Amino acid sequence: MNELKPKRGVAIIGIGITKFGEHWNLGLKELAVQAGTKAVEDAGISGEDIQLVVGGNMSSGLFTGQEHEAGLLADYLGLNPIPAIRTEGACSSGGLAMRVGCLAVASGMYNFVAVGGVEKMTDVYGPQATTALSGAMDYETEAYFGATFPGIYALIARRHMHEYGTTRKQLSLIAVKNHRNALHNPYAQYRKKITIGDVEKSMMVADPLRLLDCSPITDGAATVILAPADLARKYTDTPIYVRASAQASDTLSLFSRRSITTLDATVYAAKEAYRQARLSPKDIDFAEVHDCFTIAEICAYEDLGFTEKGKGGKLIEEGETEMGGKIPVNASGGLKAKGHPVGATGIAQIVEIVKQLKGEAEKRQVKNAELGLAHNVGGSGATATVHILSRDR
């Protein structure tokens, strides 16, 4: 990739998040306003200081009937007439918003940027939600013929099992770990401990994936406030610095890929992020990865360089990604248990990284957390973003 030369560093000075779950009494704009207000207050600034809004949202038109979210958010956040942008990259819409916000600050054009993500998914019936989400795959070659995302990731899982000996137990261990972590996250949708037996007895969705292998349908929003690194300490004693912001692409259709068990967009985005930060996978202390299905987390271990190809299952089985392990993954509970309001997920990952780096994650706190990585995927891997954050510049 071409070398990037930003004019200045970027820091996070404020964060805000709603509880994830089924919000029957809150709409799209109420969720966004709740998270945005928290972030501005946390940053110690006023709405008048914000110069740009970037909002990640996948499919509010199909979920709620509302399009033109950028204008909607600027309006209801009381930020008119500043510019507002919506980013859409399926489930990586939030990660894309973060990247656009980072570029805006790094370019020198803006000093204070509010970057958010929001999705209201529970206002429609299950089949309608499936239809909305199917737009994230190649519609003509996959969704048109009946493919769903559980089906797509089931193909990935079966192939991974065939090529590398990944086991049903290893998939279950991902779900068990992330539910255990979510017990200590007050914003998580499912704060419920589960066992391997619970996972393996849950309803079959797409063989070999069962109900407890799958992330849920979720409402929620999250926001971060970005500022130039040189100005950050004027507003907070504990700014968190963006060491890398990377994005890459791959084919939408699974059959077009060189390997369906490797998400090349993740591989390339990770390589670029490590290059920008002048780090290697071994330097990362903890990560929030895109576990839309249990197999996705195992693939992420490999694609992000935390282990060799084919050994992701062993990494979880040996406890290396548990709290207290070599590299704790999804201390928040991940998409699996924290919830997956698709447009908000990428920003929620950033919020969790910030909390961990500030030492504010309470009972789920990762020890000696200095470098954190956030990994956000769109669809089955056509888009991926990787961000690396740190306590030090």
Residues with active-site annotation:
91, 340
| CA–CA separation, 284 and 350 (whole Å) | 15
Q: For tokens 């090529």, what's the residue?
A: 163
Q: How far is CA 252 from CA 57, 119, 230, 286, 379, in A?
A: 19, 22, 39, 29, 8
Are the CB atoms for 206 and 150 separated by under 8 Å?
yes
Q: How far is CA 179 from CA 22, 50, 281, 344, in A?
A: 18, 36, 25, 19
Q: Dihedral, CA atoms, 139, 145, 151, 154, nearest 10 degrees? A: -100
**What pairing do the DSSP bridges indicate for beta strands 371-378 and 10-17?**
unpaired
Are the CB atoms for 341 and 20 separated by under 8 Å?
yes
Q: List, in sequence order, every beta strand (DSSP E) within the chain.
A: 10-17, 52-56, 84-87, 113-120, 204-206, 209-210, 219-228, 240-249, 286-288, 371-378, 383-390
Residue 42 sits at φ, ψ, to 5 deg, of -65, -35
Backbone dihedral region of 312: left (phi > 0), alpha (psi from -120 to 50 degrees) or beta?
alpha
Are the CB atoms for 336 and 178 separated by under 8 Å?
yes
Name the maximum alpha-carbon separation found in the chain: 56
